[in-house]
Amino acid sequence: MKKPHYPAPVTAQELHNVLDAQTQAYYTQGIPSLEQRLSNLDTLFDILKNNQQAIAQAISNDFGHRAHQETQLAELFLCLDGIRYVRKRLKKWMRPQKRSVSIWLLGSSNTVIPQPLGVVGIVVPWNYPLFLCISPLISALAAGNRCMIKMAANSSGLSHLLRTLFAEKFPQEMLTIVQGAKGSDFSSLPFDHLIFTGSSNTGRQVMRAAADNLTPVTLELGGKSPTIIAPDYSIAKAAKRLLFAKFLNAGQTCVAPDYVFVPEGKVDEFITAAKAIVAERYPNIENKDYTSIIDDTAYLRLKGTLAEALGQGAIATTLVPNSIANDITRKFPPTLLTGVKDTMRVMQEEIFGPILPIMTYHHIDQVLEYIHHRDRPLALYLFSDDKKTQEKVIRKTRSGGVCMNDTALHVGQHDMPFGGVGESGMGQYHGVEGFLTMSKLRPIFKQARYPSLSLMYPPYGKTFDKIIKIMLRL
């Protein structure tokens, strides 16, 4: 097959030129009206809706293989649904907000107006390249900003496609994908806001680069998201739900369950349920519904992580019978691990693949103590119908988000903020929080025609003393 021709990577100077053009357009064209913003969102919606097949195929090609159905469910639908949600509410979000006025400024008024920041930079990872590009873009366009987007090198096919599609409908000074840009060059640009999704280590580098320009950042970083199955909850039901999110995209998901706690004595029950579930969903790992690992580096890392755990005494249960990792297709079998130890890499690093360690506990406090002494995760999952257990886990843990009796679904809720905390990130977006993150809430004070403050001007005397005495009593 003929290798597609992509444009040459952009240089640091070319990046600055694009940013300068967008910045100049922001100042000369002014703040976009509601109608202009809705038009941009409509255009984005039409691009996605009219090119679904091409988008899904490009993503599959970039992975080596990914089922179109996964892209439709986990990316295309969430993007289109997110645009619908924002379009219905944008007028309300843009309204000036009346605020109260201090009593010593009678007759004046306070108003807060949400205005765009200017130019927003978006750094997109490869694992959900469409959703993690479009989701922050929706917030940025809704807030009236202009955008530059850098996609991952592993998403070159999708990047080229979106770059072409965007260029047909949006002027470069409004929206552009800068294909082939170096991460350090992009992060060093003096954006008005920068959104990065990726690893914690790279997030630190991005933040250092942004700090030189005092660019505010939103970091979505991931981490080891724990799952707890409480004693009151059905093991089979929990396994059915959590294994969907775990093996979706072959586990290459920032909010995938990273390890699971089950009550003592229920490990065999969990494994038995998992075998039945996975056998039905993925009869073999070459199944068209099962995704490849993104590249050789990631694939070999998973093989090395598993081998190290086995070498230190862990026991692996392959959930697809008679399957082994395929070095050609980079298909990695869904695998459960028991007998894990904290010293193993699988318990120290985010797995980002179809390996699920199982741990046991006698009392829920043991689980909370374990989670408390580790980095705050992007997500925490609890399977329990007991309200006291739910309240206790929420009260005694910290995480970017919580999902009860399922996993990962909180990310697709447009009316809730999404973001990490501590090691798993900072800032948040989606819905109105995304609009606010990409806006400057600009306070405007308007003095009254006859200001009451004039009674307080020097020279100070009896009038001042009387008024200040009353003010201090309030």
- Phi first, then psi, for residue 450 (nearest 5°) are -125, 90
- Check if 280 is active-site: no
Tell the burial category of 293 from Cβ atoms under 10 Å away from its Cβ (0-12, 13-18, 19+): buried
- Check if 220 is active-site: yes
Q: Which among 79, 147, 254, 403 is annotated as catalytic?
A: 254
Structure tokens at 133: 């590009």
Q: Residue 147, Cβ neighbours under 10 Å: how many?
A: 25
Measured between alpha carbons, how far is 425 from 380 in angstroms, rounded to an integer? 14
Q: Are 41 and 214 in contact (CB under 8 A)?
A: no
Q: Are 292 and 65 in contact (CB under 8 A)?
A: yes
Considering Cα of 268, then 272, then 277, then 283, what sign does the dihedral take?
A: positive
Residue 233's contacts (CB-CB under 8 Å, 6 or more residues apart) are 383, 384, 385, 405
- Phi first, then psi, for residue 291 (nearest 5°) are -85, 150
Structure tokens at 410: 């909180």
Residue of 68, 102, 49 whose CA lies nearest to 447: 102
Q: Which among 220, 264, 308, 423 is annotated as catalytic?
A: 220
Catalogue the active-site residues: 220, 254
